[in-house]
Amino acid sequence: MWSFTSWPLARLEDYSINMAPTATEVTLRRLAADVIIWHGIVYMLTHCKTGILQQLVMVLLSVSSVHFRLKGVLERAYCTQTRPFNQGSRLTAFELVHDNIPATLIADSAAAALMKFGRVNAVVVGADRCVSAKHHNIPFFVAVPLTSVDLSLSSGEERIIDERSPKELLNTHGGLGEQFAASGISVWNPAFDVTPANLITGIITEKGVITKKGTDAFDIKGFVQKEAVQASA
């Protein structure tokens, strides 16, 4: 019988155990740790499970957790279920448990309550939960390699948002099981949204941390150009 829980584990375990982090990932995890370390004891919230090029959150919390734990600051990691495809409960939770990191799985809708009760003091996502963090004055960082940044766009609002399969909301098991929603209901299932710059504390890249220009904009293109000049000097 097909198992929703065990389906991804063979591939995930092979990746988690046998693949070493790239140089970019090593740099990102160090910079991310240095940026967040000033909090002292860290209770961190992460959302979803990013891909191979953007699996920076897990590099920070899982494979690279030694950087935190040697400093004695990573007390607990919270991961969201990440409906409808449940990447958090299927993948992120597996990696956290596999690497013996104190971790707690929460429903997506519980993130704001977690912040309200003071049980999290930092949020790091791969490239995704910020309004609640802003309301509760919790630093919100995006960790992303520069190769994932589209410098041709003047704003994230120009980004075309892909839509995922309606079955992820209509069917059980993230779209792979039987339909349980009413037939005839329409579905809007965007893959992601665009996070306003005023809700982000900083963008962590392998070349350093990008800070805001003013209160509502990041000059990412200027940052990249400056790094290119310094590299060629």
CB atoms within 10 A of CB 72: 9
Task: Provide the whole-model pTM.
Answer: 0.62
Can you identify the CATH homologous superfamily of domain 9-158+195-232?
Translation initiation factor eif-2b; domain 2 (3.40.50.10470)
Catalytic residues, by residue number, are 128
Q: How far apart are CA 95 and CA 98, in angstroms?
A: 5
Whole-number Cα distances in Å, 211 to 179, 203, 222: 45, 7, 11
- pLDDT mean over 37-50: 67
Cβ(123)–Cβ(45) below 8 Å: yes
Structure confidence by residue, pLDDT tens digits, 47-92: 776 543 234 444 444 434 445 554 556 778 888 888 887 888 888 8
- pLDDT value of position 36: 62
Domain with CATH 3.40.50.10470 in the chain: 9-158+195-232
Cβ(89)–Cβ(81) below 8 Å: yes
Burial zone of 19 (CB within 10 Å; 0-12 exposed, 13-18 middle, 19+ buried):
exposed
Q: How far apart are CA 221 and CA 227, in angstroms?
A: 10
For residues 87 and 29, the model is more confident at 87
